[in-house]
A = this chain, B = another copy of it.
Amino acid sequence: MVSIKDISAICGVSTATVSKALNGAPDVSEATREKIFQVSEQMKYRPNAAARALKTNRTYNLGVLFKDEAESGLTHEYFSAVLEGFRSEAESNGFDITFINTNNASMSYLEHCVYRNVDGVAIVCANFSDPQVLELSKSNLPVVTIDYVFNGKMAVLSDNLQGITDLFSYVYEKGHRRIAFIHGAPSSVTEARLVGFYRAAEQAGLDIPDAYVREGVFHDPASCARITGELLDLPEPPTCILFPDDFSALGGLNEINQRGLRVPEDISVAGYDGIHMSKVLDPPLTTIHQKTGTMGSAAALQLIEMIEHPRTTLARTSVVGGELWEGQSVSAPKK
């Protein structure tokens, strides 16, 4: 490969000058700078990333922790889409990304980051109570998290509170008063949604019976199918069910269909996420679309800002609003 040395030889200057010219240092004359650019262009010079990293201690590599406990990580559209937004924004800023989820026990996440010398790390999808994740969050490596906030660290959240509020208002205005909510396992996301749900109900002067609020499992149609069945078996079943996410809503839809009920004529349902599939279901699912691309992009920008200006950047949490996708799975309740 052609190195700075080759360029310097051809241009008749020292390697120091070449380096400085290429990096825009002020003490290089216009003439030599131009010559150096020309030659390195023509010889297709590419700086050696390893050498540069060794010297500067900067790799322009961002670590990504993307662990799917339930084997649904990279194949979970929500997280994949966030990752794609992150990757794209990072690359626009000259950063590449490297996965740091080692599965051999030889290195912790933090050790992996150190080993690879990443400039910062994004925790996109992980178990936030995992000691290794905590270790990472406590290190002085720049960190950004998605949908979770570590104290004093950058974070990007989807606005679950607003999202569920919008969804609730929408179905309420459609006339529903018996609204059930199957939520995911306890987490900050679930918490925000529950708060939003109850607040919106309160606001509307609606009292939600405890039997209408059930804990399901994210991304698990089976559990949601079962709970949907139990809800329908209530003496006074709900007229509308909100699911933890679009995919798990499929389970509920099946249970409903199998009982010979129709959506939305007999019962209304709504999902959450706004994945591709939601638009293609029959009927199209009313859902809250989370702006995953925006979230990933915001995470990348915040992380990079922290990397470039560690002393002058305050850790902050940005909240990305969702958007109601009006499908046809919610209509006025039967009289």
Q: Which A residues are closer than 8 A to B by beta carbons?
A: 1, 44, 46-51, 53-54, 59, 61, 68, 72-75, 77, 80-81, 83-84, 87-88, 91-92, 96-104, 107, 111, 114-117, 221, 247, 250-251, 253-254, 257-258, 275-277, 280-282
Contacts and interface: CB of A to CB of B under 8 A. Distances in A.
B46 A50 contact: no
Nearest to A281: B250
A46 B87 contact: no
Contact of A99 (B73, B97, B115): B97
Report how many copies the assembly holds.
Answer: 2
Given A75-B77, A91-B102, A92-B103, 15 more contacts: A46-B107, A48-B54, A49-B116, A50-B53, A54-B54, A74-B74, A74-B80, A74-B83, A75-B80, A75-B276, A88-B103, A96-B116, A251-B280, A254-B280, A254-B281
A47 B115 CA distance: 7
A276 B72 contact: yes
A92 B104 contact: yes
A217 B172 CA distance: 39
B75 A114 contact: no
A181 to B, nearest CB: 21
Contacts of A282: 253-254, 257-258
Given A92-B104, A103-B92, A115-B46, A250 B74 contact: no
